[in-house]
Structure 1
Amino acid sequence: MIFQFQKQFPQLNTYWQRYLPLQKRLDVPAKTKLLDEGVNSQHAIYVEKGCLRTYFNNNGEEKTVQFFFEEEGLSSLDSFINNSPSPFTIETVEPSVVYMLSKKHVLQLLDELTHEPDFLMMFMKITAKRLTHYSGEFISFIRDTPEQRYQRLLEERPHIIQRVSQHYIASYLGVSSVHLSRIKHKLAKGNAHF
């Protein structure tokens, strides 16, 4: 969702104010599904407060793909753009306040934004930032061990470890909760020698 970049692009504030009445504000508890896997995505989501995750079902086991926090936006983009079934579920991890903007209004907003002089560059920067992040995640999943991925989480995004339960983090790293406990113990033991 483009509103997550309000701070970098102040001109978006005008649009946020204009589109705020068209957004549906939801104050929802943890474990609330905002989009089910297999359903066509019809909304862009902006997180005002809380934490969301995306996950898919793999033979009855949930595999967490990503976490989203305050001032971040998301949707099942391929589903949203191509009107196809979403490959994942979007669910709240903790009590959250989110704004949902319908596809109709997102398309209207994008049409209006095309008249902004710097929109193309802004959009390219937003897209590049997202692609860089996801490429890094993909490469790390292939190249790094679970221990290295966990260490990166500790260093680069400690808020995930502080706010998200261990079984979701384990799922995100592609390991069992037991394996994650071993990793944490091993790292704690290693740090104790310094």
Structure 2
Amino acid sequence: MIDELIKKIREDKENRDRFETIFIERQVAARTVLLNEGEIACYIHFIKNGCLRECFNKDGKDITFQFFFEGQPVASIDSVMNNTPSLFSIESIEPTTILSVKKQDFEMLLSTYPELKDKFQSFIFQRFSNYARLFLSRIKDTPQERYEDLVKNQPNIIKRIPQHYIASYLGITPVSLSRIRNRK
């Protein structure tokens, strides 16, 4: 999505100067927090390379509920749109390059390029679908079934994400994940 947006801006002679400066490119080290739980989000981030996660802390326990990779936008949507404290944190898992844009600038982009609004909206719907599947999986599937589904449907997570984050995402302990993996 970000590559398409940048290409569109560069090709648009009328708006190029106005939009090329709104993106802030940053390289962040692994374990860099971009947004803390409880803060009000001001930015939408696009991942050029690397990986981010959304997580929260429950009684001292770190819980991961979403991973994001190259080309994906990441934000605390509720916080950005409603100017409310974020319910979760956003953190890099590996060294990551992001392009960040402020909410008002992003809204201006979407009004200028409505076709991108449809793509962004599709991404949001897909994200909610992912949350619903994760929620239902936690209710109906065993930890073994959740792991097997992850291996089958999201192998990039298995290849790139540290085991303790995968365990947290699956709702199990790292020891339980190790047992499940050793059964294979």
TM-score by length of 2: 0.87
Secondary structure of 1:78 counterpart? helix
Q: 2:33 — aligned with what?
A: 33
Q: CA deviation at 1:134?
A: 2.4
Change (3 A) 1:16 1:46: farther
Q: Which amino acid aligns with 2:72?
A: E
Shift, 1:136, TM fit: 1.8
The residue type paired with residue 84 of structure 2 is S
Aligned mate of 1:154, from 145, 151, 155: 151
User: Partners of 2:3 and 2:145 in 1: how far apart?
Assistant: 30
Residue 68 (structure 1) aligns with:
68
User: Which residue type is aligned with residue 161 of structure 2?
Assistant: V
Deviation of 1:104 (Å) = 1.7
- Residue 136 of structure 1 aligns with an amino acid whose one-letter code is R
CA gap 1:123/1:34 in 2 versus in 1, 3 angstroms: closer
Question: Aligned partners of 2:10, 2:79: CA distance in 1, in Å?
Answer: 24
Work out whether residues 36 and 86 of structure 2, in 8 Å CA contact, stay in contact via their aligned partners in 1: yes
1:124 CA drift (Å): 5.0
**Which of 133, 136, 139 is the equivalent residue of 1:136?**
133
Which residue number in structure 2 is paired with residue 14 of structure 1?
8
Q: Structure 2 regions of 5+ residues with no counterpart? A: none
Distance 2:10 2:56 in 1: 31
**Distance in 1 between residues matched to 2:118 and 2:28, nearest whole Å:** 35
Q: CA deviation at 1:5?
A: 8.1
Q: Which residue of 2 aligns with 1:191?
A: none
Q: How many pairs align?
A: 178
Partner SS, residue 21 of structure 2? helix
TM-aligned CA distance change 1:121 to 1:60, over 3 Å: closer
Runs of 4+ displaced beyond 6 Å: none
- The letter for the 1-side match of 2:126 is K
* Distance in 1, Cα, partners of 2:173 & 2:59: 15
Partner of 2:48 in structure 1? 48
So what's the TM-score if we normalise by structure 1?
0.83
Matched residue SS, 1:99: strand
Q: 1:105-159: CA deviations, max 9, x gaps?
A: 012112223xx4x567545544433332322222222211111111011011111
Deviation sequence 1:13-53 (CA, Å, 0-9, x none) = 31477434311101111000111110000000000000111
